[in-house]
Amino acid sequence: MFTDPTFLFIQTLNGLQLAMLLFLLSVGLSVVFGLMNFVNLAHGTLYMLGAYLGLTVYNHTESFWTALALAPLGVMVIGMIFYVTLIKRLQKAPPLKQVLVTFGLIFVGLDTVRIFWGNLPDAIPQPNLLSSSIQIFGETYPSYRLFIIALGLLVMVVLYFGLEKTRIGSIIRAGVDNREMVSSLGINIDLAFFGIFCLGCYLAGLSGVVAGAVFPVEPGMDMSILILTLIVVVVGGLGSLKGAAVGSLMIGLAETYGQVFVPEFASVTIYALMVVILLIRPGGLFPVRAES
């Protein structure tokens, strides 16, 4: 089985599907960590709210695509409120205070979904267009999982051109290197960072809706993926789009291969990988700020 090329290819697709979900979630968290120096542990809560808002929209419209379009916008609005009321006030606070406040928000989000949606798990039905399977080398593979891979790659490409090839991307990169200098040129760097934060919230909501059609939508679903997301951010490097992409691929594939090839050690596979990388590159693979 382990030497079967078709089996290995299918497991690689499974790893890519997980990697793309991790990328959609980790890129926003990485940007907030690296660019705004804010430790936002509640980012996973936005992912959970995205899944629940998507479920609510689907229940009212019976359209997955409508849920995919509207729910991330709702999460972005929640993120904007979160930014104005908390993040802006705590941005210059000590990291421990940021951790404690956002960690508390995890429990606020958990109780919120329990109050409005209950404790029972649910799911967002997959769209009819993607509910079937296709044949790959004689094996059936769900079309929806291929959609997740394609969506993640599309977002990756759009973010690359947006951050690397546009004026706003140049402003953001310059603001990371020297925030005071950019501000002295009359550029509102706070507004630019606010826009990036909103984009990260949108992507967290998007990943929640997409994941809600694969994994159970239930209270606490944020914690199960938050750990993996934090590992991606640490491995890839804070604030780095390239780091989020490469880190997601490494962790997604390592998690999938670990579950298949060494299930008895699967729980420590990704942690061992993280330790090895940090021993070689303490700042992660592609930190946005050069290591001193």
- Domain boundaries along the sequence of the chain: 9-280
> Average pLDDT, stretch 175-188?
76
pLDDT at 180 over 90: no
Question: Residues 285, 246: contact at Cβ < 8 Å?
Answer: yes
- On the 0-12 / 13-18 / 19+ scale of CB atoms within 10 A, 6 is exposed
Question: Please, what is the Cα angle at 108 between 228 and 24, to 5 degrees?
Answer: 30
pLDDT at 51 over 80: yes
DSSP H helices, 37-63, are 43-61
Under the banding of pLDDT at 50, 70 and 90, the label for residue 202 is: very high
Calpha distance 119→112 (Å, rounded) = 11
pLDDT at 122 over 50: yes
Using 50, 70 and 90 to split pLDDT, how confident is the model at 147? very high
The whole-number average pLDDT for the span 236-257 is: 88
Q: Which pLDDT band, with edges at 50, 70 and 90, does 2 fall under?
A: low
The CATH number corresponding to 9-280 among 3.40.50, 1.10.3470, 1.20.120, 3.30.70 equals: 1.10.3470
Q: Read off the pLDDT of each residue in 90-95 and give the average, rounded to a whole number.
A: 81
Question: What average pLDDT does this structure show over 62-70?
Answer: 95
Contact status, residue 87 vs residue 38, Cβ threshold 8 Å: yes
| Residue, of 200 and 164, whose pLDDT is higher | 200
Helix, strand or coil for residue 285? coil
Q: Confidence class of residue 34 from pLDDT cuts 50, 70 and 90? A: low
Q: Which of residues 98 and 47 earns the better pLDDT score?
A: 47
Reduced to 3 DSSP states, what percent helix, strand and coil does the chain have, rounded to the nearest 5?
A: 75, 5, 20
Work out the pLDDT band at 53, boundaries 50, 70, 90.
very high
Tokens of 227: 């750990």
**Residues 6+ positions from 8 with CB-CB distance below 8 Å:** 2
CA count, 13 A, side-chain hemisphere, 57: 22
Indicate if the pLDDT at residue 68 is higher than 90: yes
Checking if the pLDDT of 162 tops 90, the result is: no
Mean of the pLDDT values across residues 10-18?
Answer: 91
**How many angstroms separate the first and last alpha carbons of the chain?**
46
pLDDT of residue 292: 43
CB of 253 closer than 8 Å to CB of 9: no
3-state SS, residue 213:
coil
Cα gap 41→204, rounded to integer Å: 13
Beta strands in the chain (DSSP E): 133-136, 139-142
Task: Return phi, psi of residue 9, to 5°.
Answer: -65, -40
Task: Taking residues 171-200, report their average pLDDT.
Answer: 79
* Confidence grade of residue 62 (pLDDT, cut at 50, 70, 90): very high
